[in-house]
Chains A and B, each alone.
Chain A
Amino acid sequence: MNVALLTRLWDEIVVPRLHIPDGFLSLPVALVFWAITVVLLLVAIRKTQQQLGERQIPLMGVMAAFIFAAQMINFPIAGGTSGHLLGGVLAAVMLGPWAGMLVMACVIIVQGLFFQDGGLLVMGANVFNMGLVTAALGSLYHGLAGRRSRGVRLVTAGVLAWLSVVAGALFTALQLGFSGTSPFAVVVPAMLGVHVLIGIGEGLITMAALAFVMQVRPDLVAVEAVRTGGGRGWVVVGLVIALVVAVLSPIASADPDGLERVAIDMGFEEIAAAPPYELLPDYVIPFLGETPLSTILAGVIGALVVALVAFAVGRLLRQRPAAA
């Protein structure tokens, strides 16, 4: 395989592939995430209807089309690969948390429903990963940096944008792991590794876009212009969602389904009896754990890591203006 083909594969296949197609998530995981997404969307609709008038309906429709179109903007990074925009943080920064969530959800719904970019039964998971998680992280912006200097606001938006891609990838990886589509030990490091890099492009574009709007139309992104979403509250919301998900999913798939059943059918017991911390015994990568408890643990750890990173970043940024 030559380099050009590899980079094309990377660009067209690996990069945009947070959109999970149908079939790659087990039914319990897909349905649990549909339920979570529906609840969050209903809250978002209620909040948006309270806060915004009918004037906002065309605004949000056009903004959703804007995000869809903006996702086509790319820039070359190196060796033929390119950076893309997902847009969740940008949407939440510009429109506020709930409207941002709604707009992102519409983008993912349209991509799945009309363009088969992502499945229908897994749409709940896709909307959650790429729309709700990213917009929720973007909502931290108003609480963390809404009233700070221009530089702090830009850096906050950039870091949140990077984090949103990583968090979306983490949730995607966890869902694939819970579904038994790919072992945790493979899919979590792989997804995180790739998206830690891809997120940099997201962060840079988000920063530059925000800087542009600040310069051209400062009134749109002024403190008063955007309803502050409250920083701390959103951290709690995000954490609670993550924990609930982590605890629920393995319980929901408690009846040995998919991978677990295959594992049991094929005599997994022998391998499970091997020492728990021996990595790659017989070059068969072991599962991070086959019992619901360890699955829950893996999910909780993942959620905590993201939350801690978000929190630490927030802390750092809070302290910076005092020093500067």
Chain B
Amino acid sequence: MMLPNTLDRYHDRPSSIHDLDPRVKVVVTLLGIFSVLWLPDGAWGAYGLVWCMVLAVALVAQLGVGWVLRRSLVALPFALVAITLVFTLPGQTLFTLQLGGWEIRASDAGLVRFGSVLVRSWLSVQMAILLVATTRIPDLLHALRHLRVPTLLVTILAFMVRYLSVLVDEVTRLLRARQARSAASAQGKAGGSLLWRARIAGNMAGQLFLRSLERSDRIYSAMLARGFRGQYVTVNPHRMRRRDWLALGVALAALGMLQWLGRALS
């Protein structure tokens, strides 16, 4: 399926990870994230081990460690939500901050919890990145169908992904057209009243809606002409080979060992 470069997260490499059955990759990724979240707070050794595993997969998949690292920073801004933990959990006081008239205390327990939340989240994101970087979207959707996700949902997802780039192009054109017709002053203050600006944005959304609707009509007619019967079919058999089972076994063993180590070490 065609996605512009900015949307497609797949990186084609001739690696054994790319070659694995997508079902194995989906299941291992989900179990991996589950297993990271299951580790106790402050199990730094185990976290480090998970990171080594992530890096090993990234290397085998020939993605480059730096690339995965850069991409993994997307979720970090959410840390804002958890930072209050540092100051609200009771524990040994590490330092105090003067904030206006308030004095807030940072506790060691809060810091450990905050750090653990952050690291676990960061590791989980890297696993998700590895999954989509090594698996084509049609394969991913096909794997979902094998994993008992309802066919209707998967088919809608497939259509959505197919037309995502088309509609993103469309909205980009709308946005560019608006920008081309809007002069801005040096202060960057946009013209018109708030209501007027909101109405323009709403008109754009309405316009996009109508165009999408018409497009879906055309698509349906075209698909009927090509013999569509309610779902996508594939010529890729998606059969589990010996190496797929082997990879699954190795991954499960590694995750089991991780849980044991995480609890034994901390």
Interface residues in chain A, defined as those with a beta carbon under 8 Å from any beta carbon in chain B: 12-14, 17, 20-24, 26-27, 30, 41-42, 45, 48-49, 54-55, 57-66, 68-70, 72-78, 80, 83, 85, 90, 94, 102-103, 105-107, 109-110, 112-117, 119-121, 176, 180-183, 185-187, 201, 204-213, 216-217, 220, 258-259, 262-263, 265-268, 270-271, 282-285, 287
Min Cβ gap A273→B in Å is 12
Interface presence of B54 (CB below 8 A): no
Assess whether B88 is in contact with A49, with CB atoms less than 8 Å apart. no
Chain A positions within 8 Å of B157 at CB level = 61, 64, 106, 109-110
Interface residues in chain B, defined as those with a beta carbon under 8 Å from any beta carbon in chain A: 7, 9, 29-30, 33-34, 36-38, 41, 71, 74-75, 77-78, 80-82, 84-85, 87-91, 102-105, 107, 109, 112-113, 117-118, 120-125, 128-129, 132, 137, 140, 150, 152-153, 155-164, 166-168, 170-172, 174-175, 188, 190, 194-195, 197-210, 212-213, 215-217, 219-220, 223, 228-230
User: Which one of B82, B129, B158, B163 lies within 8 Å of A24 (CB-CB)?
Assistant: B82
Which 5 A-B pairs give the minimum distances between C-beta atoms? A208-B202, A61-B159, A23-B121, A212-B206, A22-B124
Assess whether B212 is in contact with A62, with CB atoms less than 8 Å apart. yes
Sample (30) of A-B pairs whose CB atoms are under 8 Å apart: A13-B77, A22-B36, A22-B120, A22-B128, A24-B82, A27-B37, A42-B150, A45-B153, A49-B152, A59-B220, A61-B155, A61-B159, A62-B160, A62-B212, A62-B216, A68-B160, A70-B205, A72-B171, A73-B171, A102-B152, A106-B153, A116-B128, A119-B124, A120-B30, A121-B124, A186-B84, A208-B202, A209-B203, A209-B205, A284-B105
Nearest CB in chain A to that of B99: its residue: A283
Assess whether A116 is in contact with B75, with CB atoms less than 8 Å apart. yes
Min Cβ gap B134→A in Å is 13
Min Cβ gap A227→B in Å is 17
Assess whether B38 is in contact with A41, with CB atoms less than 8 Å apart. no
Assess whether A23 is in contact with B128, with CB atoms less than 8 Å apart. no
Task: Tell me the total A-B contact number using a CB cutoff of 8 A.
Answer: 305
Q: Which of B167, B206, B217 has the most CB of A within 10 A?
A: B206
Given contacts A65-B164, A119-B125, contact A57 B155 (CB under 8 A): yes
Assess whether B202 is in contact with A24, with CB atoms less than 8 Å apart. no
Chain A positions within 8 Å of B129 at CB level = 116
CA–CA, A323 and B230, complex, Å: 49
Nearest CB in chain A to that of B118: its residue: A23
Nearest CB in chain B to that of A60: its residue: B156
Given contacts A110-B164, A113-B140, 9 further A-B contacts (CB under 8 A): A54-B228, A61-B156, A61-B162, A102-B153, A116-B74, A204-B194, A211-B202, A212-B205, A266-B107
Chain A positions within 8 Å of B200 at CB level = 75, 208
Assess whether A65 is in contact with B125, with CB atoms less than 8 Å apart. no
Assess whether A58 is in contact with B220, with CB atoms less than 8 Å apart. yes
Assess whether A262 is in contact with B89, with CB atoms less than 8 Å apart. yes
Chain B positions within 8 Å of A80 at CB level = 188
Min Cβ gap B190→A in Å is 4
Assess whether A262 is in contact with B41, with CB atoms less than 8 Å apart. yes
CA–CA, A115 and B82, complex, Å: 22
CA–CA, A117 and B170, complex, Å: 22
User: Which one of B29, B91, B120, B219 lies within 8 Å of A120 (CB-CB)?
Assistant: B29
